[in-house]
A and B are shown apart, each in its own frame.
Chain A
Amino acid sequence: DAKTTQPPSMDCAEGRAANLPCNHSTISGNEYVYWYRQIHSQGPQYIIHGLKNNETNEMASLIITEDRKSSTLILPHATLRDTAVYYCIVKENFGNEKLTFGTGTRLTIIP
């Protein structure tokens, strides 16, 4: 059973903020939310992760709801190079080491 639900596709205008939602209603207390992306057929690239606090790094921001049942990845100023499939993954740190990639959201940045 899938642990996360993401929309299959989204469009965003270049220069605007891209907001990618993810539902993970069955997340457990020790599971983190990870985001990866895959540009065309390249290897997936780590973006960001968090447990319950909002996180920000040089690539993106991660907003996790207080009940932790959903989250949003924000790319603040999307560029054409951000066109990719974005994967939201929940998993424990340590123990079960498997990253389970679903089908993700295909984000297309429109010029």
Chain B
Amino acid sequence: DADVTQTPRNRITKTGKRIMLECSQTKGHDRMYWYRQDPGLGLRLIYYSFDVKDINKGEISDGYSVSRQAQAKFSLSLESAIPNQTALYFCATSWGGERTDTQYFGPGTRLTVL
């Protein structure tokens, strides 16, 4: 079974709709992240959370919000989706207790906004 799961895996929606992407992990990690990837480009950080009560903006947080419902769950919301939010979205986790910053990624959610 996958340690980091994302739902849905694919989603097509229309401009103006509210969308929620969900991420769950069974690794017991305290840190979780949301990234987006546009074609031909690297990943860019949207939001990250070091624990349930901690939320931090990444480099491209405008138009997005997040919720850390539990240590194992981190949701990304697009309040009013727009076409330029069409991208591949990845959730990742890491353990803050390690002396490294190894992040483990989910399989991704492909979002298309028409």
Contact = CB atoms under 8 A, between A and B. Distances in A.
Interface in B82-111: 88, 90, 92, 99-108, 110
Interface in A40-70: 41-46, 49
Interface stretch (B12-20, B39-47, B65-73): B39-47
Interface stretch (A12-20, A74-82, A100-108): A100-108
Given A42-B107, A43-B107, A98 B4 contact: no
A30 interface: no
Contacts of A104: 42
B18 to A, nearest CB: 25
B101 A102 contact: no
- SS of A interface (majority): loop
B100 A93 contact: yes
B19 to A, nearest CB: 19
Contacts of A98: 45, 48, 58-59
Contacts of B107: 42-43
Interface residues of B, number: 26
B102 A41 contact: no
Contacts of B102: 34, 46, 49
A96 to B, nearest CB: 10
Interface residues of A, number: 21
B40 A46 contact: no
Interface of B: 4, 31, 40-45, 48, 50, 58-59, 88, 90, 92, 99-108, 110
Interface of A: 32, 34, 41-46, 49, 87, 91, 93-94, 97-104
